[in-house]
Amino acid sequence: MTSKSSTNMADSKASLFRSDLKDKQAPTIDISPRKLMVALNEGCQDPYQLIQKDFLKRLEQLSLNRYMSPTTDLLHQRLADYAGVKKEQILFGNGADDMLYHLFLAVRENAQSFALSLAPSYFDYATMCGAVDLGIRFLDMRADFSFDVERYIELAQDPDCRLAILCNPNNPTANLLPAEQIRQIITALPDKLVVVDEAYYEFSGVSFVSELDEYPNLILIRSFSKGFSAAGLRFGYAISSPQNIAELWKTQITFHTSSLVKAFALCILENKELFLGHVQQIKALRDRLYRDLKELPQLIVHPSATNFLTFSLAGKSDDLYNHLQEHDITVRNVGSHPALKSCLRVSISCEDAVNAFRDQVRAYLAK
């Protein structure tokens, strides 16, 4: 039997946290483990195997008993060189998600503040906004993944809108947004931050980094999880004006990234040709799989500027999903939004995985 005093203590403990957390849930991901995991847009090559010798050599130069490390400045410079900007225009952290989280934290002014995103788009925008009690609103994309740019601008001009988010290429639709529409939005919102999420930059080859000087309200977000096959490393970065980076830096803790992570990220950049060459292989596999799937009856597959393909099968997507699960293949169900009704998403990782996935789709259609 629960005593009155213990009930009061439970109520008291609940009130120690932010009141809005009561109705929120901890972030989870509903992915069924299978032998072939092609659900999370991960690469199939292990970067440690590629740069093991260089990494171990650099570890010998680290003093893990120290907070400060010369690796920090060197990585900062190498990252700036890779992005083609000054060091003062770069801030790195524990994944692109970490950069977005701290950006949302930095812009939230009050309980009415919100961010604006297209939908469907990266689902964790909502997760991270919720974590810092920043609202989020959405403008739905059309069935062809286009959107009403004038309406987007109108929604973003709300005084409580603190920033506008554009994922380019967009996840999970895989398409690039028209560059002129992105510029139109940035230009129309000089007093708002516009975030262009370039997590799939290495696959699309499209970036607004050369236009940062023209648009002081622009912030770019990138990741090592996709093009550098380092999802488990948790390393990402923001690129913007020195003024914007200085403000964003104020939300970070002093030693916000592990010395081990920084050393590994530096080794990746020093061997970037290995990874960028693999990106070209993945793009070729993606294009081949796209052609193969286009030839299959009833299957609809969308063009992609990323390392994944989004597809559906005329009222049978759920059944196909289950068939793949039964054959030890996990893809991602992304069909919760009307624009992606019944759609699934498959990651393009390596040739064996692509062939196994394609063969099982063919086997299902042949039943």
Residues 245 and 353 placed together within one structural domain of the fold? no
Residue 1: inside a domain, yes or no?
no
Structure tokens at 298: 């009833």
Mean of per-residue pLDDT scores for the chain? 95
Residues 75 and 169 placed together within one structural domain of the fold? yes
Which residues 6+ apart lie within 8 Å of 137 measured at CB? Answer: 114, 115, 116, 117, 155, 161
pTM exceeds cut of 0.85: yes
Residues 291 and 266 placed together within one structural domain of the fold? no
Region 1-20: what's the mean pLDDT?
Answer: 62
- Cα separation, 42 vs 307, in Å, equals 8
Closest CA to 48 of 263, 203, 222: 263
Overall size of the chain counted in residues: 367
- Cα separation, 215 vs 217, in Å, equals 5
**Domain boundary residue, one of 234, 249, 270:** 270
Residues 240 and 155 placed together within one structural domain of the fold? yes
Q: pLDDT tens for residues 149-206?
A: 999 999 999 999 999 999 999 999 999 999 999 999 999 999 999 999 999 999 999 9
Residues 130 and 83 placed together within one structural domain of the fold? yes
Residue 155: inside a domain, yes or no?
yes
Instruction: Specify whether the CB–CB gap between 235 and 209 falls below 8 A.
Output: no
Residues 94 and 67 placed together within one structural domain of the fold? yes
Closest CA to 312 of 219, 220, 188, 174: 174
Residues 287 and 234 placed together within one structural domain of the fold? no
**Structural domain count of the chain:** 2
User: Over 60: is that where the pLDDT of 117 sits?
Assistant: yes
Instruction: Specify whether the CB–CB gap between 318 and 342 falls below 8 A.
Output: yes
Residues 236 and 248 placed together within one structural domain of the fold? yes
Residue 300: inside a domain, yes or no?
yes
Residue 188: inside a domain, yes or no?
yes
Residues 250 and 282 placed together within one structural domain of the fold? no
Residues 99 and 241 placed together within one structural domain of the fold? yes
User: Over 60: is that where the pLDDT of 9 sits?
Assistant: no
pLDDT value, residue 302: 98
Residue 8: inside a domain, yes or no?
no
- Cα separation, 279 vs 47, in Å, equals 13
Q: Strands 161-167 and 114-119: what pairing?
A: parallel
Residue 22: inside a domain, yes or no?
no
Q: At 113, which CATH number?
A: 3.40.640.10
Q: Strands 193-197 and 161-167: what pairing?
A: parallel
Residue 178: inside a domain, yes or no?
yes
Q: Which residue has the tokens 């516009």?
A: 194
Region 239-268: what's the mean pLDDT?
Answer: 97
Region 24-47: what's the mean pLDDT?
Answer: 91
**Domain boundary residue, one of 240, 255, 270:** 270
Output the CA–CA distances (angstroms, integers) from residue 124 to 15, 96, 101, 364, in the order listed. 26, 11, 10, 32
Exposed, middle or buried: residue 252 (CB in 10 Å: 0-12, 13-18, 19+)? middle
Range of the domain at 324: 28-43+274-365
- Cα separation, 180 vs 22, in Å, equals 42
User: Over 80: is that where the pLDDT of 46 sits?
Assistant: yes
Q: At 310, which CATH number?
A: 3.90.1150.10
What SS3 class is residue 139?
strand
Residues 108 and 235 placed together within one structural domain of the fold? yes
Which residues 6+ apart lie within 8 Å of 86 measured at CB? Answer: 80, 242
Residue 12: inside a domain, yes or no?
no
Closest CA to 328 of 32, 28, 40: 32
**Domain boundary residue, one of 248, 270, 292:** 270
- Cα separation, 216 vs 200, in Å, equals 23
Q: pLDDT tens for residues 284-324?
A: 999 999 999 999 999 999 999 999 999 999 889 999 999 99
Q: Residue 352: in which H helix or E strand, if any?
A: helix 351-365
Strands of the sheet containing 161-167, edge to edge, are 90-93, 236-239, 218-223, 193-197, 161-167, 114-119, 135-140
Residues 90 and 186 placed together within one structural domain of the fold? yes
